[in-house]
Amino acid sequence: MKKTPLLTELELELMQLIWKNQDATVEFLRQQLADSGRPLALPSIRTMLGILKNKGFVNRRQTGRAYVYNALIAADEFQQSFIKDALHRAFSGSPTGLVTALLNRELVSKKDLDQIKKMISDYEEGKRK
């Protein structure tokens, strides 16, 4: 798997909206950002989408007078690449180091821990997702 470029917080927020909605216009993204308390001007969103296009994350096609953006990289592909990069950069490639950091900093709730235990059990039994 090739390394996926990192995304800024705003780029990731835009990508999450595009992943969730599959196709998105600039106006749709502006409205979604405004609804979530992050109002941005249309030119700013267009600039960010241009950056995402240059990074290879989105493609655009013209529909009428508007451009419609869609993801070129699936969310799970990005997540896998992101985790792999973080694992190598911050934890010297050690999954144990990552889990230890999560547990030691109490970033995993009891509910999350129960779900993780079930996932590990299923994984060990060959019931991979």
Cα(19)–Cα(45) distance, integer angstroms: 16
Q: How much is the pLDDT for 95?
A: 92
pLDDT tens, position by position, 53-93: 999 999 999 999 999 999 999 999 999 988 998 899 899 99
Share of the chain above pLDDT 70, in %: 95
Question: Which pTM was predicted?
Answer: 0.80
The residue ranges of every structural domain in the chain are 9-71, 75-124
For the chain, give the number of residues. 129
Residue with tokens 């999954």: 95
| pLDDT computed for residue 5 by the predictor | 72
The confidence score (pLDDT) of residue 92 equals 93
Q: How far apart are CA 65 and CA 108, in angstroms?
A: 47
Pick the CATH number of 9-71 from 3.30.70.520, 1.10.287.130, 1.10.1740.10, 1.10.10.10: 1.10.10.10
- Alpha-carbon distance of 3 to 120, in angstroms, equals 27
What does each C-alpha distance from 73 to 11, 38, 45, 78, 126 come to in angstroms?
13, 24, 19, 7, 28
Please report which helix (H) or strand (E) contains residue 60, including its range: strand 58-63
35-53: pLDDT as tens digits: 999 999 999 999 999 999 9
pLDDT of 4 > 80? The answer is: no
